[in-house]
Copies of this chain bind each other. A is one copy, B any other.
Amino acid sequence: MATIININAEQQSTSNTLDDLHLYFAEDLSQVEATLTAHLASAASLIPEVSEHIIGAGGKRLRPLLTLSASRIAGYRGAHHITMAAAVEFMHTATLLHDDVVDGSDLRRGKPTARKIWGNPTSVLVGDFLLGQAFRMMVAAGNLATLDVLSNAAAVIAEGEVMQLAAMRNADISEDNYLRIIEAKTAALFAAAAEVGGILAGASETEIEALKSYGKNLGIAFQLVDDALDYGSVNRVLGKNTGEDFREGKVTLPVVLAYRRGDQTGRAFWERAMSAQIDGSNDYEADFEMAVQYLQTTGALQDTVARATHFGERAKDALALFPPSDMRTLLIQLSEFCIARAY
């Protein structure tokens, strides 16, 4: 099997695309960072320590950027977008802390997880704290409609996670079901992050709906590309977290497609792989190689990215009703960045 290990030129240019957005919002983002830090202060010193480990780990701040962008494109002139963007990032961080406990993950982006360093109890409680702080910040911004959207997202995310847990290790779930899960666990926060930007700006219902749709479709595309990247994606780009989903028996779209398309032997392989039997086995490397081979021969990785591209296109079209602007161009580039990561 041909293996191309390649942090390629394409990736270079896409990371520049996100740089443009970071540059555009440099001022706002630094205020968001300051807001995050200010709200980590606590009499319990573990709280800032653990939170900074994960918040400071160089995330892309995609969700806060959605809030900032959506409020900008809808013409917002106030200051609450900073608070809301920071609250959204806290919500996201809380879910990361809890997800790592739920999945028993020791690594995130190649670094030890908080639960690995400080244990599950601390990760659960610091996540709870961040969720509480997120709501405090939203309340301080004083807008009930945004609170409605984000509290709804909080419940939906947890529902999505529970659905994923129930489907855990079951390679037999349908593509529709899988999409329903990631729409809840991942895309709901992207959608809410963009929607609240529009609400803050007092945008029309149609515009708010467009921003929400942009966020939702972007979120689905983003998750599907993540799913593909876990197996090196179509070009076999090996990243820091390659193989984490496989090791944890997490059924993602590549597996759903490869399983459905597979023959008897292929399906038996996936059933064994998604069961608890592979993690810790001596043949883990060989199993992973086999998985990638199955994913490539069935076209599952290619088509996961094709599905992602479809949602990325829908995200872009959702913005078509806004007149052309630098901001709109940047949001379209953001959607392209989410897809281009796959290559």
Q: Which chain A residues have a beta carbon within 8 Å of chain B's beta carbons?
A: 42-47, 95, 98, 101-103, 120-122, 124-126, 128-129, 131-133, 135-136, 138-140, 142, 144, 147-148, 151-159, 161-163, 165-166, 180
Contacts and interface: CB of A to CB of B under 8 A. Distances in A.
Given A43-B159, A121-B165, A132-B154, 17 more contacts: A43-B180, A44-B159, A47-B159, A101-B121, A102-B121, A102-B124, A124-B124, A128-B154, A128-B157, A128-B158, A131-B131, A135-B151, A135-B155, A136-B148, A136-B155, A139-B148, A142-B144
A94 to B, nearest CB: 8
B157 A98 contact: no
B157 A132 contact: yes
A139 B132 contact: no
Interface centre among A133, A151, A161 (most CB of B within 10 A): A151
A166 B135 CA distance: 25
Q: What is the count of identical protomers in the complex?
A: 2
Interface of A (DSSP majority class): helix
Nearest to A145: B139
A284 to B, nearest CB: 22
A44 B125 contact: no
With most chain B CB atoms within 10 A of its CB, the pick from A46, A101, A129 is A129
